[in-house]
Amino acid sequence: MKVSKIIIRVLTVIFFAIISFICLFPFYVLPVMGSYTTEELMKTLPFWFGSSFFENTRTLLQSNFLRTYGNSAFVTIFSIVGSAFNSVLISYAITKYRFKARKFLEGLIVVTMMLPGQISTIGYIMEMRVLHLTNTLWPLVFTWLAHPFTAFFMVQFMKDSVPMEIIESGRIDGASEPRIMISLVFPFIIPAVSTISILLFMWSWNNYTLPMLIINNNDMFTIPLFVSNLISEFRFDIGGRMAALTWAVLPLLIIFAIFSKSFIKGIAAGSVKG
């Protein structure tokens, strides 16, 4: 009895160790490989950091990597602010006012959440072409401005977490509606806003397909485009590619390290309710 318990315990530990290793190894390999020159990598596969990471990074900087980083940051920041703004406002309208279109709007959000994004892709690209916005970063921002999931998430959250009494008391005190929203309601919804902001950060930062279809000017590349371009053009510069991937992945890892608790909680809460 006791021996079998120990065996089970040991096996569990081994099992967890293996899965953790499989999850972490690819992230470890990135900077390790990124810190060697390609010639070195052709000879042996390293398990510890080499000395060429900054040399590889310098090569990247020569091919506009900094600008790419700036583009990605621009797109991500505007997407987060715009999308969070829109979804907070509409969810506030849906949950805290009684008006004719209320049920319709709520239904619209739920139904459109099920549509695959590609269904609008071609039309969207043509629309951006007509508006002369291809090869600018704006189409990559616009695409997040009415995102059904973030709106849905905010609606669910506001329903449960913002008491109607607060709003009523604000009205009795004669506060204007914007004032009520900013100073009374906003403090309640900060956790949900940060959750959708992190989600939007992840989606926008990782977005590849739409930028690939809309942007073909190197100056407007975002990070996923830059990396993928690097791969097809310099297939054999493995060291440089790995260094680029390291830098591409790093901001997300940092954000995740800081906010992992609210991140995981947010994703889980959004789905458990939905």
Partner 1 sequence: MDKSIKIKKQSMHKAWPYLLAAPYVLCYVAFTLYPTFYSFFLSFFDWNGIKAMNFVGLANYRDLLFKDKLFWKAIWNTIQFMLLSVPIQTILGLVLANAVFSLKRTKRAFETVFFLPYIIAPIAIGSIFSNLFDWQYGYINEFLISIGLIDEGIYFLQNPTMTRMIIVMLQVWRHFGYCMVIYMAGMTAISPDIYEAARIDGANEWQLFSRITVPQLNNLTIFLIMTSIINGMQLYEIPKQLYAGTTTATGGPGYSAYTIIWKFINDAFANKMRLGYGAALCYILFVIILVFSFVSRRISNRKGADA
Sign of the dihedral through C-alpha 198, 201, 206, 212 = positive
Which of these, 62, 51, 50, 72, lies nearest to 250 by C-alpha position?
72
Please give the C-alpha separations between residue 213 and each of 118, 121, 203, 209, 210, in angstroms, as whole numbers: 12, 9, 17, 6, 5
Spell out the residues 6+ positions from residue 274 whose beta carbon is closer than 8 angstroms to its own.
Answer: 152, 156
Name the residue nearer to partner 1 (CB basis): 50 or 224: 224
Please give the C-alpha separations between residue 140 and each of 122, 211, 230, in angstroms, as whole numbers: 14, 7, 21
Q: By CB under 8 A, tell whether 146 contacts partner 1.
A: yes
Give the DSSP letter string of 95-112.
HH---TTHHHHHHHHHHH
Q: How far is the CB of 146 from partner 1 (least distance, A)?
A: 4
**SS3 state of residue 147:** coil
Name the residue nearer to partner 1 (CB basis): 1 or 119: 119
Q: By CB under 8 A, tell whether 118 contacts partner 1.
A: yes
Q: By CB under 8 A, tell whether 54 contacts partner 1.
A: no
Residue range at the interface with partner 1 (CB under 8 A); choices 52-60, 63-71, 184-192, 208-216: 208-216
Q: By CB under 8 A, tell whether 161 contacts partner 1.
A: no
Q: By CB under 8 A, tell whether 121 contacts partner 1.
A: yes
Q: By CB under 8 A, tell whether 216 contacts partner 1.
A: no
Could you give the CA distance from residue 104 to residue 97 in angstroms, rounded to a whole number? 13
Question: Which residue in 73, 77, 105, 166 binds partner 1 (CB under 8 A)?
Answer: 105
Q: By CB under 8 A, tell whether 37 contacts partner 1.
A: no
Q: How far is the CB of 270 from partner 1 (least distance, A)?
A: 9
Q: By CB under 8 A, tell whether 2 contacts partner 1.
A: no
Q: How far is the CB of 80 from partner 1 (least distance, A)?
A: 15
Name the residue nearer to partner 1 (CB basis): 55 or 251: 251
Q: How far is the CB of 164 from partner 1 (least distance, A)?
A: 14
Q: Which residue has the tokens 């990247």?
A: 60
